[in-house]
Structure 1
Amino acid sequence: MWRGHVEAVRAGRSLLPPRWPGGARVAVALSFDSDHETIPLRDGETSPGLLAQGEYGARKGAGRVLELLERFGAPATFFMPAVSALLHPDEARRYVQEGHEVGVHGWIHERNTLLGADDERTLIRRALETLTDITGRTPAGIRTPSWDFSDSTLETILELGFRYDSSLMADDEPYEVLAGGRATGLVEIPVDWIRDDAPYFTMDRFGALRPYTRPRDVLEIWKDEFDAAYRDGGVFQLTLHPHVIGHRSRLVVLRELLDHIGAHRDVWFATHDQLAGAARDRLNEPGPAPEPGPQAGPRPGAGSTSASASASNAPTEQP
């Protein structure tokens, strides 16, 4: 019984390539979950105060984030619940117009593990169609609300033709998702609460949840995460929320983190779809991909992309 649960959705072979595009040493995949008002709406909370906290992400946070990304020439992925895109269609279109990717993040940030298979499938399909209609681009990837799978999530993701998922936590680097021990061809771009702003900064005024970490302490954690990924030749993936990171004192942290990344050579900023594409090449290799070891030193000038170079050429429960 327990083995069946463990093996239902499992990490398969590593898809970390021997080298990133352009000879880069590290891949940096920035993502933003543009939840805005959907979390209180999902829970039936309609007080202006709670909705205003989410509205801040659309009114102030998203614009500040986009300006910062433009300054560093860093493409990113914005995972957006469909209801959020319906409330803020110009914002969703702006993401695409400015060279970023939009991915599916549920219909209304629903708790997908509480849904029946048909209901979950209907909501994901509706979200996919809605984002396609609004942005003019069919999303390639999905991040499930609250970073979890129901018994039917994987089957639905495969049925709807998503190229990658970014919801699970079995590795630091991309891997192939297995279903009952069988290869699926689905690329997983792992996340982790360590690399998420919400656990550090969110609060519930009527509950025990209070922010307990200074923003600059979080900066130190994320710098350490990047530095380790750089040494390993791996991926630094980060999940942020415009209504969380978009406040002034926290945006300073993101700016200083990008300054730190930009001080390194051979950095490849990629959308999650671009990252999945690089990882996907390994699926075509015969046999299991070997587990990667530390990368060789960077090759100066080998068509690499760094934050500083690209800047001069300009693109609780939150996840």
Structure 2
Amino acid sequence: MSFARPDRSNWKLPDSARIAVSVNLALEAFRHKSQLTLEARPGKTDHFSLSYAEYGARAGIWRILDLLDELGLKASMSTNGKAAELYPDAVRAVAQAGHEVVGHGWENDVLNEDADPEKELEEIRRVTEAIASAAGVRPVGWTSPGSAGSQNTLDLLAGEGYIWNGDQANDDLPYSVPTKNGPMMILPRVNMPQNDLIMWAKANNPPGVIFESFKDTFDELYAEGRKGSPKWVEIVLHAHMGGRPTLIPTVRRCIAYARQHEGVWFPRKGDIARWAAGIEGIDLGARA
């Protein structure tokens, strides 16, 4: 497989859209503690923190699915293999609603090392199998926990049939990189100011800060798009954070604001990757 190489000088979006707006979800499972913890002792499992994360599967993802259905949007969901194993009904519901399910490591608080590619390959295959079993579809995209992939991740993913990865933060447009096993489309992180973990849960900001960040980012990128240089902005909702009732009105405001403008494309991340790569025939809803 070969990918078309996106060129900044003539980069366009489908139907000459001025901006792309995507929604990325995360359904995560942990070994010792989630992102929010009350336990300060190293190596001690924080059971409260794990229960905080479990909210995502018990309540949060269902609230988000209702919201996406209300808004008529399709999203992508980064999914730990352990989460797919623990919460198959939630993962299948996401896939059956037409959302993209994305590989996200096995446990969200356990990372891979550069020195052990065989262990990482085993994990990628285990995650792929767990997601495919739960969702009924095979993932074609991958974002490592914390975007902390190893030096081997892209080579391994390409060898396992993945087409895109989201572990970089070095651009605001997709781009293709060569690997030992063929090209990989990179979808850089364009979501820092609209990420519930960064801007709300850990920052002690009011929810409205996310809307303000989204609006300012959207306005600047939309202006660039009107000048012929369209870009992409994303909202990130972890099911155990953004799936709580506090943030739902903010997400509605963000989408409503975007829809006040002409020429806005609302893709899944895999749709962006396929468009950027110039490839057809990879159906994000194909049966596993």
TM-score range, shorter chain: 0.7 to 0.9
Asked if structure 1 preserves the Cα contact closer than 8 Å seen for 2:19 and 2:264, the reply is yes
Q: Which runs of 5+ in 1 are unaligned?
A: 1-11, 204-210, 283-319
Give the SS at the match of 2:233: strand
Give the SS at the match of 1:244: coil
Give matches, 1:238-253, under 5 Å: 238-253=235-250
Per mean C-alpha deviation after superposition, the further-off stretch among 70-79 and 234-243 is 234-243
Between the aligned partners of 2:220 and 2:271, the Cα distance in structure 1 is: 21
Report the counterpart of residue 39 of structure 2 in structure 1.
none
User: What RMSD in Å do the two structures reach over aligned CA positions?
Assistant: 2.6
For the pair 1:32 / 2:12, whether they are aligned, the reply is no
Q: Structure 1, residues 209-266: CA drift from partner, whole Å, max 9, x if none? A: xx33221122101221222222222111232211111222222211111111121122
Give the deviation of 1:24 after TM superposition: 2.3
Selected match of 2:251 from 250, 254, 263: 254
Selected match of 2:213 from 186, 199, 221: 221
Between the aligned partners of 1:65 and 1:44, the Cα distance in structure 2 is: 32
The two structures have a TM-score, normalised by structure 2, of 0.83
Q: How many residues align?
A: 263
Report the counterpart of residue 201 of structure 1 in structure 2.
200
Selected match of 2:183 from 182, 185, 189: 185
Asked if structure 1 preserves the Cα contact closer than 8 Å seen for 2:196 and 2:237, the reply is yes
Change (3 A) 1:20 1:41: closer
Give the deviation of 1:22 after TM superposition: 3.2
Between the aligned partners of 2:232 and 2:96, the Cα distance in structure 1 is: 26
Asked if structure 2 preserves the Cα contact closer than 8 Å seen for 1:176 and 1:185, the reply is yes
Give the SS at the match of 1:245: coil
The two structures have a TM-score, normalised by structure 1, of 0.75
Between the aligned partners of 1:237 and 1:15, the Cα distance in structure 2 is: 21
Give matches, 1:255-274, under 5 Å: 255-274=252-271
Q: Structure 1, residues 131-162: CA drift from partner, whole Å, max 9, x if none? A: 11111111011001111231211211111111
For the pair 1:92 / 2:91, whether they are aligned, the reply is yes
Give the deviation of 1:52 after TM superposition: 1.4
Give the SS at the match of 2:146: coil
**Fraction of identical pairs, as percent:** 28
Larger radius of gyration: 1
Report the counterpart of residue 72 of structure 2 in structure 1.
73
Between the aligned partners of 1:104 and 1:259, the Cα distance in structure 2 is: 29
Report the counterpart of residue 49 of structure 1 in structure 2.
48
Between the aligned partners of 2:7 and 2:204, the Cα distance in structure 1 is: 36
Q: Which runs of 5+ in 2 are unaligned?
A: 36-41, 225-229, 280-288
